[in-house]
Amino acid sequence: MPPKICVLCEKSKAMVKRPKTGQIVCRDCFFYVFETEVHNTIVQSKLFNPGDRVAIGASGGKDSTVLAYVMKTLNERYQYGLELFLLSIDEGITGYRDDSLETVKRNQEQYDMPLKILSYDELYGWTMDAIVSQVGRKNNCTFCGVFRRQALDRGAAMLGVDHIVTGHNADDIAETVLMNIMRGDIARLGRCTAICTQGEDTIRRSKPFKYAYEKEIVMYAHFKKLDYFSTECIYSPDAYRGHARAFLKDLEAARPSAIIDIIHSGEAFEVREEIKATQKIQQTCQRCGYMSSNTLCKACTLLEGLERGMANSGITDKARKKLDAAGPTPDNIRTIPFFKPPSGSPAVTIDVPL
């Protein structure tokens, strides 16, 4: 049986069947269409301006490694005029993050980008290993997610950048839509598909891989022979997201377009005005100055619980009441350094579907 020919160039031997479209293409055409689709997402969503200083959230995993490589490639090919940095957060997970950061350090040399590493221990006085020893593995992802988001903003502020890009792909976003539906989280469901977000007190963030399938990112990394770390977080197997991921994979097996279909459904979702009126107004944390919907941000609440030996107090309202009943906050507990909001353009939310 003769080898199949690429449906795009009609010359070279086909080596890849794209999960996203079903097209059978050669390796070079796959590279071109993958990069061009990311470029089109960037241009149509107007993600950057010439001269922007952009921090790439770098974990050493496949998504962030491919993102760094593609951002460098597109910046040079299309002359975006961006100044690119790598920004890594060290959560303090022995046998996982310490190894993945070695990959990031190699990427720094391979892609010739400045690297900033900010640790939980430096910022919060706690590592994830220490947190898990207190809370166990049931709710540890809550701590990590809250702490990581604020750490990225603080690291970006230290770098003096205008913009953070992360490697969240189409699968990640579809999973988030499903999670918010299952939890009935209307506030997050209304904004989780936005490709670019910025609050009044945060640095602009965007997801250039919003429409890129995870399988295609893996194939791109494989055929490009990129250097990335492939081990999953040792604390993530019990995460709630895992249920949404398993469900999504079953949907994708039956209907490959399910991932993009779910994203488009999320984009079309609208919250009634009377529901919006019940949502909490964003303010700034009285203790650390970071954005919050309460007088204390989630990170400060979680950290106070850890410091006072009531680690789960920030997880539920009931547990928080127990912390309040224990008396006022002691003066000698560790707190997060005060956050100085970056100056820049007004808050925006841009979402232009392809």
Give the burial class of 251: count Cβ atoms within 10 A of its Cβ; 0-12 exposed, 13-18 middle, 19 or more buried.
Answer: middle
Six token digits for residue 260? 């993009």
Query: Which regions of 236-297 does DSSP assign to beta strands (E)?
Result: 283-284, 291-292
* Cα distance between residue 24 and residue 3, in whole Å: 11
* Cα distance between residue 286 and residue 128, in whole Å: 25
CB 91 within 8 A of CB 98: no
Binding-site residue ranges: 57-59, 63, 89, 167, 172
- DSSP-derived secondary structure letter, 295: S
CB atoms within 10 A of CB 111: 18
Binding-site residue ranges for ATP: 57-59, 63, 89, 167, 172
CB 216 within 8 A of CB 146: no
Name the packing angle between helices 298-307 and 317-325 (round to 10°). 50
CB atoms within 10 A of CB 215: 17
Q: Which amino acid is at 155?
A: G
Six token digits for residue 334? 């560790």
